Structures are given as C-alpha cells and as structure tokens.
Amino acid sequence: MGECLIAYGGVGPGVPYPLKWVGTGDGHATASGYATDATETFPIIVPGGGVYISESITANGAVSARWTEQDGSRHSLIVRLYLTETSEALFYPSNNQFVLPIPMYSPPEKALRFKGIYQNDSRTEDISGGALFASGIYGAYPWPDRIIILLGVEQSETLFMLVWSRTNTLISFGPPNPPTFIALSAAKLYQTEVKSLQ
C-alpha cells in the first residue's frame, strides 16, 4: 500500500497505449493463493534458485486506488480479484517473486478476473475484465523490484496499470519521444512471500 504509479489508456501490448493519463496516486493491492504440482522450468541458471511453474493455482485479492488528474478531476477504482477456474503462474521462490497468469502463455479462460467500480468525479461505472498480478519477474529493468497490476476493462477497452515500488525510484514511462518520468516513493507496506509447504 502507498503511493503508486497509475496509467491508463488503450489496451496496448503490456502497457496502456495509446496513453490517456499517467501520474501518481495512492493505492492498495493484495493477493493470496496457493499452487499445487509446481515444477521447475526454464533450463537457465537463476541466482538463488530455479523458476517454477504451476498450472493449478487458486488465488484471490483486491486492488484499490485514487488519484487526481491535472484538470482537477478525481478518480478512484476498487476491484476484487478472483479466478473462475484454476490458473497458471510462474514463481521464483528464492526472490519471493511471481506472476499470475503467465503473459503470452495462459489462455484467456485461465486469466485472473476482476469485478468492481470505477469513479470519475461524480460518474460511477461497474467494471470487469481480465487482470495480471506480478511481483518482480514481469518485464526488464527497472521493473524487477515492483508490484505490477494490469486491469483490462472489457466495457470500455481500457487498460489500467498500477505499480508499487519497494524503494524510491524514477520510472521512465511512455513513448521514447519523449518519455514521461515519474518520481515514485517507496510503498508504505511492500511485502511479497512465496513459500514452499514441502
């Protein structure tokens, strides 16, 4: 929980594109679950241990955020995360990192789902769609020490991206000509734990 980067726009490949707005706000994200039949995958040497995959994930969670844009409009969203059937995830236990579902691998029916409300000033709408919850192993530097949530809203074809950081950081976001730089404070509470019960 704490300050987070918030971006939204079109349903681009992995990030909101075209970008409608990016800035900071306050938010909270939590997810918990368990995996059965996890097996080591990716024949690469990873510092501290292997990367595991499970195709039998049960999980749920919640995400909320609020922010004010340059025009003074106030926005907020509150959603519940859930699965309609067991899903798939990657885990890196030695670094307490995971991603659910697996980008470009998991089929749509195994997507993490969300349902909730989005408020834009006095206008409130029900929203739902597919989600991704990642801690650490989603994307290249500077993303590895982040908690990242993607929410693809089916009703408006809008992608929300929310990012929390373990440390104070400067994030480059958007197209390279020129990119937008966002100063992001360390989250007040940042915890991720991947634990084996064997």
Residue 103 belongs to some domain of the structure: yes
Residue 190 belongs to some domain of the structure: no
Residue 179 belongs to some domain of the structure: yes
Domain count, the chain: 1
Residue 197 belongs to some domain of the structure: no
Whether the per-residue pLDDT at 104 is higher than 80: the answer is no
**Nearest Cα to Cα of residue 93 among 63, 138, 137:** 137
pLDDT band for position 118 (cuts 50, 70, 90):
very high
**Amino acid at position 123, single letter:** R
Which of 30-44, 86-100, 102-116, 166-180 is modeled with the greatest confidence? Answer: 102-116
147-188 residue pLDDT tens: 899 999 999 999 999 999 988 988 888 766 677 889 999 998
HSE-up (13 A, CA, CB side) for residue 170: 3
Cβ contact 6:22 at 8 Å: yes
Residue 192 belongs to some domain of the structure: no
15-24 residue pLDDT tens: 898 889 999 9
Whether the per-residue pLDDT at 82 is higher than 90: the answer is yes
* pLDDT for res 85: 81
Residue 121 belongs to some domain of the structure: yes
User: From start to end of the chain, where are the E strands?
Assistant: 2-10, 19-36, 39-41, 51-68, 74-82, 87-92, 97-100, 112-120, 123-135, 146-153, 158-165, 169-173, 180-184
Residue 194 belongs to some domain of the structure: no
Domain range for 88 is: 2-184
* pLDDT for res 101: 85
* pLDDT for res 177: 67
What is the percent of the chain where pLDDT is above 90? Answer: 43
Average pLDDT over residues 71-98: 87
Model confidence, pTM: 0.87
Whether the per-residue pLDDT at 32 is higher than 60: the answer is yes
Residue 141 belongs to some domain of the structure: yes
